């Protein structure tokens, strides 16, 4: 187990390292001149040189990369040129919207997706199964940002139960509160979750059906266990292994979905931050946000790998 | 991996050519409801794009402010937007952007990803390990993140969208190709080909590629659908197709500012996306059943 964990951790660290090199290369080396990008086409050579010096671009790329990664490891980040604040401060503020949103969406995805998938599998080829699968086929085809717009149309424009977007903040000083904040994130979370839940439901259904055909399930039934007991005690635990893989992948989609849906609901999260940064040509912010989002995906996949070993004791390090 | 017993019991026609004979296929395709519905919807998407090349009710970018925010009428089938542009024409021409991005993003992913997958499967060992780790790594960059980075540097646009979605498709195809190819490599006829003195590249070309073609076609259909959603999302965010070329994603973005006056403007482009994606997905599922009877039975 410890060898397995160590091996996985090494892969995890290596992935992050390669990701940092790639993000740095794409944003810092490829375009030729970041100062030119920031100042636009009309900038004079003198102002470009001054900007390059201000950004530290006159130093070798390797030094700048080491500076960036070394700083990150020590919890130090570069100064955003448009906000004049360290990117870590900006990101920390915005994460207070994005993280709860992603978590709420993940919980909803799990609740809806697993329940629908198990329900459909238990009623294979009957009306319940067919309708759940039909709905999920439709759910997969719906872009989450359009579903978000439809939710706004229904609940904000037609019924006028909620405002069409914006975030009041988590504290009363900001003019909001825990409940107000939760309500503001509810529709965005539903918009994100419905689409992912449709995907999860299909995978859960086929994983459960696959497991139901195993010999040990027949044995359990033969020794007198009820269908329900077999489903809960034997099938679900085994069916969860492929489902976990999908969940890890879904998290990546959820993260990028969050970026889009935040823009639909005008939520001050990471997604809005990165788009404002693109508009302001604030590449330092883009770089740090992209690396953070990649890191989140990598961390979740690392956790999924570890969970495999917990769920399935048969899993040997060599299989992983 | 396919067990030897499963390989021996497999449908002979699938083993020999991988794809059933065409006349047989057409007859079964007509009786397959999800394939039939999917094929009709996909055909409609293609027709809309082709038709819009030669004809649309109005020029999609034509501004006609006196007639702005009109409802449904004989003159404007789906009404007009806040600048008086005809929605039906924009929807028709918008199909072009979806198809363009879908085709090229899938081509990028298909050509590079499948080549890598075939290489991984044929060489095995470190090659396989390397390609698969590369695939894992690329999965950490959803299309949107690539598009954000590329958009920040090269500016947003159709090509940025195609490249970003194409990059994301590479590991998808690499994984599917490798898994399918590994199953073929375990078959007896590959062993026979080896004994007959064929090298691994000849085996890859003569035996592996024909046998995994149907799995790749199915995957390409599904990735096409995913690409349409991704293109719409990028265009909605302003990172994809740029004006004056109409795109369903950007129509939704523009409609959002008019939601209180003209809520239906935010409905039509979304419906177009859903129908296109649903059609391609249903067709993909249908193709999987029709091209590979073994897979269908396992479901």
> Hey, is the C-beta of B155 within 8 angstroms of any chain A C-beta?
no
| Chain A positions in Cβ-Cβ contact with residue B139 (cut-off 8 Å) | 249, 252, 297
Helical H segments across chain B, by residue range: 4-8, 12-16, 22-31, 33-54, 87-123, 125-139, 143-154, 158-185, 188-195, 200-203, 209-237, 248-256, 268-291, 293-298
CB–CB contact B152 A277 (8 Å): yes
Q: What are the residues facing A79 on neighbouring strands?
A: A86
* Separation CA B258–CA B265 (nearest Å): 8
What is the Cα Rg of chain A in Å? Answer: 24
Contact B133 A11 (CB under 8 A): yes
Res A294 pLDDT > 80: yes
Q: Whole-angstrom Cα distance, residue A296 to residue A269?
A: 15
What does the alpha-carbon distance between residue B227 and residue B238 come to, in Å, rounded to a whole number?
16
Query: Which pLDDT band holds residue A135 (cuts at 50, 70, 90)?
Result: very high
Quote the CA–CA distance of B273 and B183 in Å, as a whole number.
Answer: 35
Residues of A in contact with B255 (CB under 8 A): 149
CA B190, CA B184: separation in Å to the nearest integer? Answer: 7
In this prediction, residue A1 carries a pLDDT of 62
Reported confidence tier of residue B147, pLDDT bands at 50, 70, 90:
confident
Give per-residue pLDDT as tens, A83-112.
Answer: 888 888 999 999 999 999 999 999 999 999
For residue A101, what pLDDT is reported? 93
The residue of chain A with its CA nearest to that of B144 is A256
**3 state DSSP class of A124:** coil
Is B233 touching A (CB cutoff 8 A)? yes
- For the record, the structure tokens of A238 come out as 């085994």
b/e B112-127 (16+ beta carbons within 10 angstroms → b): bbbebbbbbbbeeeee
Q: Are B293 and B14 in contact (CB under 8 A)?
A: yes
Chain B's closest residue to A145, CA to CA, is B233
Quote the pLDDT of residue A293: 85
Q: Is the minimum CB–CB distance between B257 and chain A shorter than 8 Å?
A: no
Across the interface, of B266, B269, B278, the residue whose CB is closest to A141 is B278
Q: Which of B219, B221, B275 shows the shortest CA–CA distance to B248?
A: B275
Cβ of B237 and A290 within 8 Å? no
pLDDT, tens digit, 9 for 90 and up, residues B220-240: 999 999 999 999 999 998 888
Interchain proximity A137–B278, CB inside 8 Å: yes
Q: Count chain A–chain B contacts defined by CB atoms under 8 A.
A: 119
Model pLDDT for residues B26-72, shown as the tens digit of each residue:
778 778 888 889 999 999 999 988 888 888 887 877 777 787 777 77
- Residue A80 CA to residue B216 CA, distance in Å, equals 45
Which of A18, A37, A274 is the closest to B137 by Cβ? Answer: A18
Q: Check residue A202 and report its DSSP letter.
A: H
Measured between beta carbons, which residues in chain B are less than 8 angstroms from residue A146? 232, 252, 269-270, 273-274
Chain B residues close to A263, C-beta within 8 Å: 236-237
Cβ-Cβ contacts under 8 Å, B252 against chain A: 145-146, 149
CA gap A62, A36 in Å, rounded? 20
Q: Residue A145 and residue B252: Cβ atoms within 8 Å?
A: yes
Using the Cβ of B265 and the Cβ atoms of chain A, whether some distance falls under 8 Å is answered with: no
The larger pLDDT score, comparing residue A298 to residue B220, is at B220
Distances, alpha carbon B253 to alpha carbons A149, B233, B265, in Å: 9, 10, 10
pLDDT digit string, tens, across residues A183-242? 889 999 999 999 899 999 998 998 898 888 888 888 988 888 888 888 888 888 888 877
Q: Kindly state the DSSP code that residue A78 receives in the 8-state scheme.
A: P
Mean pLDDT of A255-272: 88
- Rounded to the nearest 5°, which phi and psi values hold at B80? -130, 160
Instruction: State the pLDDT at residue B101.
Output: 92
Q: Which of A126-130, B73-77, B129-133 has the highest mean pLDDT?
A: A126-130
Contacts of A276 in chain B (CB under 8 A): none
**Distance between CA A25 and CA B253 in Å, rounded?**
32
| Contact list, A260 vs chain B (CB under 8 Å) | 144, 233, 236-237
| Lowest mean pLDDT, pick from A189-203, A288-302, B4-18, B100-114 | B4-18
Q: Given CB atoms, is B255 within the 8 Å cutoff of chain A?
A: yes
* Mean pLDDT of the region A80-84: 81
CA distance B141 to chain A (A): 6
ipTM for the complex?
A: 0.83
Q: Which residue of B has its CA nearest to A11?
A: B133
């Amino acid at each position: 187990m410890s060898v397995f964990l160590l091996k996985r951790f090494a892969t995890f660290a290596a992935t992050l390292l390669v990701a940092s090199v790639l993000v740095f290369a794409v944003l810092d080396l490829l375009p030729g001149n970041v100062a030119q990008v920031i100042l636009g086409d009309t900038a004079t050579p003198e102002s470009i040189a001054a900007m390059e010096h201000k950004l530290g671009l006159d130093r070798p790329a390797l030094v700048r990369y080491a500076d960036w990664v070394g700083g990150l490891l020590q919890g130090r980040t570069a100064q955003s040129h448009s906000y004049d604040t360290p990117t870590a401060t900006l990101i920390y503020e915005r994460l207070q919207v994005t993280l709860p949103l992603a978590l709420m969406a993940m919980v909803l995805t799990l609740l809806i997706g697993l329940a629908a998938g198990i329900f459909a599998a238990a009623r294979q080829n009957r009306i319940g199964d067919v309708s759940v699968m039909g709905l999920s086929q439709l759910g997969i085809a719906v872009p989450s940002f359009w579903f978000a717009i439809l939710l706004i149309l229904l609940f904000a424009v037609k019924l006028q139960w909620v405002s069409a977007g914006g975030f009041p903040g988590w504290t009363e000083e900001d003019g909001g509160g825990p409940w107000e904040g939760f309500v503001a994130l509810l529709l965005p979370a539903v918009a994100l979750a419905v689409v992912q839940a449709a995907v999860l439901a299909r995978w859960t259904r086929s994983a459960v059906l696959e497991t139901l055909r195993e010999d040990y399930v027949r044995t359990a039934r033969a020794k007198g266990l009820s269908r329900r007991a077999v489903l809960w005690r034997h099938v679900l635990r085994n069916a969860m292994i492929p489902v976990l893989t999908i969940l890890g992948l879904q998290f990546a989609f959820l993260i990028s979905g969050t970026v889009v849906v935040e823009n639909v609901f005008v939520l001050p999260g990471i997604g809005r931050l990165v788009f404002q940064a693109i508009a302001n040509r604030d590449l330092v912010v883009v770089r740090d946000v992209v690396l953070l989002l990649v890191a989140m995906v990598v961390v979740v996949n690392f956790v999924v790998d570890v969970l495999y070993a917990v769920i399935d004791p048969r899993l040997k390090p060599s299989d992983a | 991996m396919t067990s030897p017993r499963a390989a021996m019991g497999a449908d002979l026609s699938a083993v020999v050519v991988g794809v059933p004979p065409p006349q047989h296929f057409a007859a079964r395709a007509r009786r397959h409801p999800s394939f039939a519905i999917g094929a009709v919807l996909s055909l409609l998407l293609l027709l809309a794009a082709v038709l819009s090349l030669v004809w649309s009710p109005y020029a999609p970018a034509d501004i006609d402010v006196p007639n702005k925010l009109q409802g449904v009428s004989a003159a404007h089938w789906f009404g007009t937007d806040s600048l008086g542009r005809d929605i039906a024409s924009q929807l028709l021409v918008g199909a072009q952007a979806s198809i363009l991005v879908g085709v090229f993003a899938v081509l990028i992913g298909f050509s590079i990803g499948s080549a890598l997958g075939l290489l991984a499967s044929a060489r095995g060992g470190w090659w396989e390990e390397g390609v698969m780790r590369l695939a894992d790594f690329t999965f950490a960059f959803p299309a949107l993140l690539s598009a954000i980075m590329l958009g920040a540097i090269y500016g947003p646009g159709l090509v940025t969208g195609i490249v970003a979605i194409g990059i994301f498709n590479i590991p998808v195809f690499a994984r599917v190709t490798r898994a399918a190819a590994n199953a073929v490599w375990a078959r007896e006829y590959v062993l026979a080909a080896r004994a007959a003195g064929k090298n691994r590249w000849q085996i890859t070309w003569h035996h592996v590629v024909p046998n995994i073609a149907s799995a790749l076609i199915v995957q390409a259909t599904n990735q096409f659908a995913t690409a349409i959603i991704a293109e719409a999302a990028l265009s909605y965010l302003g990172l994809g197709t740029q004006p004056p070329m109409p795109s369903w994603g950007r129509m939704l973005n523009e409609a959002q500012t008019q939601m209180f006056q003209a809520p239906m403007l935010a409905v039509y482009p979304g419906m177009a996306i859903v129908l296109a994606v649903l059609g391609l997905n249903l067709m993909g599922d249908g193709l999987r059943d029709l091209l590979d009877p073994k897979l269908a039975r396992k479901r």
